[in-house]
Amino acid sequence: MTTAHNPGPVGILATTIAELPNPTNLRLGHYFVSETDGRTFHVVRSVTGQHIWKEVPGTGGGGITQLTGDVTAGPGSGSQAATVAKLAGTPLNATPPTPGQALVFNGVAWIPGAAAAPDLEAVLAVGNKSGPHDVLMQAGQAVDTDGAAQLSLGTGNATSIAMGRPLGGAADLQVFINQGGAAFVSNAGIQYSSTFANRAQIRLNAFGNHGGVAGVTAFKSRGATVTAKASVLAGDPIYRVTVIGVTGDNDKTPVAGYIDLSVAPAGVQPLYVASQYAVSLVPLEGPINSIQEMWKITSQGVPCLREDIHHGPNGDSVTVVAGVTALGPGGVINIPNPNIKAKTRFTLTVQDGGAVPLGSVYVAGRVAGPGGSFDIQSTNAADVGVLVYWQLWEQVTQ
């Protein structure tokens, strides 16, 4: 089939050159290309003034019959479908891709597959983007790596680095650094793990000719969103240090102690919040999670000492630190106490509410060790029923 082309009202179709219409009736410029051999003819005026068909020099010969290499086509004459078979000489796998797949080199050919996560430099190379997987960079800010494998956030021009949700939102962002596994994931916002000695610490350095301090500031509001202010309640911990250790079976991780700064009873006032300080510990007798408040300073500066420690499966209590007792017959009382040691110190004071003392009280003797005890005695044997407050003290071991 041959087809004649020319902008105009006449279209010319023929299967052979002999079938072409008499050019006398055609206009100058009409042409056709032979699909058989690629030769091109067009209508021209002869020397005698007639319209004739004339072959265009350089055409014909059948055209390209086959393509090889990265793009293949044919063999065959005329129009042939082309296929991209390689990229720079590497074969392209013919498996159709699925949505989300990328072109991945498997060492032999290009195949459909999951795109590898780009490294930091590749992500930053895209420039300032705001998509869900891009790094947002603004003037004066940078995220980069150097030869020492140190990650730098910000530059000398950056004044802040923001992470998480915008101000005023319900913020729940958590940051994990060297996180070791689900067993060590808590509700804390920033969690850091390290096997390097003294690395799992926070150090704050303050420089400059000013009166500012290096330290930790804790803020507490019961507001539902960030920046929302709502009054705290009595007993609310404002600042707490929590300590946790692995038990002797190398398995459990119970809380071992607290240091608290909390809102004092009746401490929420219109213009201020009164605070109290406390130390809570797990007694030597246990059991697990038996943390108890041992020592406290009230908002008035009054020290408070726990006088009995509850422990054991039955909730039994043993008085080991301090207490009030009444002198018995002969003005003497024996007090069992497993914490008595050879150098334990005692404080004794007479309390109101009992008999009026006739003599002075003192520690008359002791038995050290787990089954230990000590005697409180008056210099006057008639001091029966006198109430005596006692407290133990120990030296700091150097």
pLDDT band at 185 (very low <50, low <70, confident <90, very high): confident
Check: CB of residue 231 under 8 Å from CB of residue 238: no
CB 169 within 8 A of CB 225: yes
From the list 281, 308, 311, 283, the residue with the least C-alpha distance to 293 is: 281
Q: Are residues 331 and 375 in the same domain?
A: yes
Whether residue 118 is preceded by a cis peptide bond, meaning omega within 30 degrees of 0, is no
Q: What proportion of the chain, given as a percentage, has pLDDT over 90? A: 39
Q: Alpha-carbon distance 351 to 387, whole Å?
A: 5
| Domain-ending residue, one of 308, 341, 361 | 308
> How many whole angstroms separate alpha carbon 64 and alpha carbon 45?
31
Could you tell me if residue 22 is inside a domain? yes
> Using 50, 70 and 90 to split pLDDT, how confident is the model at 68?
confident
For residue 353, how far is the Cα from the chain centroid? 59
Q: Which of 61-65, 94-98, 144-148, 269-273 comes out lowest in average pLDDT?
A: 144-148
Structural domain harbouring 269: 237-308
Q: Specify the pLDDT at position 8.
A: 37
pLDDT tens digits for 17-26? 555 666 666 6
Domain boundary among 63, 82, 113: 63
Q: Kindly state whether residue 149 falls inside one of the protein's structural domains.
A: no
Distance CA 297, CA 275 (A): 9
Could you tell me whether strands 309-310 and 317-318 are parallel, antiparallel, or unpaired per DSSP bridges?
antiparallel
Rounded CA-CA distance 327/330 in Å is: 8
Domain boundary among 276, 308, 340: 308
pLDDT band at 174 (very low <50, low <70, confident <90, very high): confident
Residue 86 in any domain: the answer is no
Which pLDDT score is estimated for 150? 55
Domain-embedded: residue 205? no
Residues 380/356, Cβ–Cβ less than 8 Å: no
Mean pLDDT of the chain: 79
Question: Considering the domain boundaries, does residue 174 fall inside one?
Answer: no
Integer distance in angstroms from the first to the last C-alpha of the chain?
A: 110
Q: For a pLDDT cut of 70, what percent of the chain falls above it?
A: 64
Residue 278 within a domain: yes
Give pTM, 2 decimals: 0.61
Helix (H) or strand (E) run with residue 122 in it:
helix 120-124
Q: What confidence tier does 86 reach under pLDDT thresholds 50, 70, 90? A: confident
Higher pLDDT, 34 or 395: 395
Q: Are residues 281 and 328 in the same domain?
A: no
Q: How confident is the model at residue 2 (pLDDT cuts 50, 70, 90)?
A: very low
Q: Is 192 a domain residue?
A: no
- CA dist 392 and 374 (Å) reads 11
340 with 388, same domain? yes
CA angle (26 as vertex; 22, 27 as ends), nearest 5: 150
In a domain, 92, yes or no: no
Check residue 57 and give its pLDDT.
Answer: 65
pLDDT tens by residue, 294-349: 999 999 999 999 887 766 556 666 778 999 999 999 999 999 988 899 999 999 99
The tally of domains found in the chain comes to 3
Asked if the model's pLDDT at residue 156 lies above 60, the reply is no
pLDDT digits (tens, 9 = 90+) for 335-373: 998 889 999 999 999 999 999 999 999 999 999 988 899
Cis peptide before 287 (omega within 30 of 0): yes
Does 295 share its domain with 349? Answer: no
Q: Identify the pLDDT of residue 22.
A: 64
46-55, 190-199, 353-362, range with greatest mean pLDDT: 353-362
Do 338 and 387 share a structural domain? yes
Q: Looking at the structure, do residues 269 and 327 belong to the same domain, yes or no?
A: no
